[in-house]
Structure 1
């Protein structure tokens, strides 16, 4: 009764052998990206370029501060108090003139009490120098007989002034 038909015996005993293998879909392509990914890429590159430009501009604008701080380390080797005071005064004046490059005559002409007031007021509300140290610096720079300087304290205060002075206060 159940005899195989001639067409079944020619094809094979198992009808599942006639089925094809499972075909996987093609892999998802990396390109073209969706517009959102392109926008994110443009935003990321733009932010990176802007950050680099701002960093470069900051480094360029503050190069004089780094140079002045390096020059402060060379001032430590000076043994004479009068020469040390003159060199420190010149360094501070050069930094002030550079920060106020649009109106150098207002800083270059200051001396004595006006120069001390400028140094005290050019850091805003928190002055880097204190009055006794500035008096000792002025006395050592311009008087033949002056009391000994506290060089380390003056160097610390000068470094702080170089770091904190702002040209818009000047």
Structure 2
């Protein structure tokens, strides 16, 4: 007869059940909430920023269309008027209506120069009342360049 050792008398090891994927631990819930909140915040911020800047994109497209129209009709006075209309629309969108709506002539040029950081508006006849003078010499390229620069760089 063989002798049993005390170790032989022990029952075999009982392993615990494997850990499942569900439900996750509290740390994973907290991490998920933080990630979802962060993604939501960044998405809302990006959408607000896009909406806030969208008017600039539209205005730049309108300026490009006005240039295409100018290339057909070749009338600098009409092109200057179209660009002024675009600038006024953008200014009314970006600044308080009380401040912008009544501006014209030299006051309008002063406003454009100050808000866009473009002093060239002060010396440019296309943006004050001289554009109605049939003898004024207007450069469509200068008008186009200044209009685009102000739309891109104005700060409200």
TM-score, length-normalised on structure 1? 0.72
In the alignment, the residues of structure 1 paired with residue 122 and residue 97 of structure 2 have an alpha-carbon distance, to the nearest angstrom, of 27
Equivalent position of 2:6 in the other structure: none
Name stretches of at least 5 consecutive residues in structure 1 with no aligned partner.
Answer: 8-20
Aligned partner (choices 48, 51, 76) of residue 57 of structure 1: 48
Larger Rg: 1
| CA–CA distance in structure 1, aligned partners of residues 144 and 80 of structure 2 | 11
Q: 2:150 aligns with which of 141, 144, 161?
A: 161
| Counterparts in 2 of 1:130 and 1:25: CA distance versus 1, 3 Å | same
Which of 130, 134, 137 pairs up with 2:124?
134
Superposed counterparts of 1:18-167, under 5 Å: 26-77=17-68, 78=70, 79-100=74-95, 103-123=96-116, 127-128=117-118, 130-131=120-121, 134-138=124-128, 141-149=131-139, 151-167=140-156
- TM superposition score normalised by structure 2: 0.78
**Shift, 1:136, TM fit:** 4.3
The answer (yes or no) to whether the contact 2:106–2:122 under 8 Å persists in 1 is no
| Contact kept? 1:129, 1:158, Cα under 8 Å | no
Closer, same or farther: CA 96–75 of 1 in aligned 2, 3 Å: same
> Does the 8 A contact of 2:125 with 2:138 survive in 1?
no
Q: Identify the residue that residue 12 of structure 1 maps to in structure 2.
A: none
Per-residue deviation, 1:98: 1.3
Instruction: Name the CA distance, whole Å, in 2 between partners of 1:157 and 1:27.
Output: 71
Contact 2:56–2:151 under 8 Å retained in 1: yes
Q: How many residues align?
A: 144
The answer to whether the 8 A contact 1:85-1:138 is kept is: no
Could you tell me how far 1:135 is from its partner in structure 2?
2.8
1:70-107 per-position Cα deviation (integer Å, ceiling 9, x unaligned): 1011011212100000010111011101112xx31321
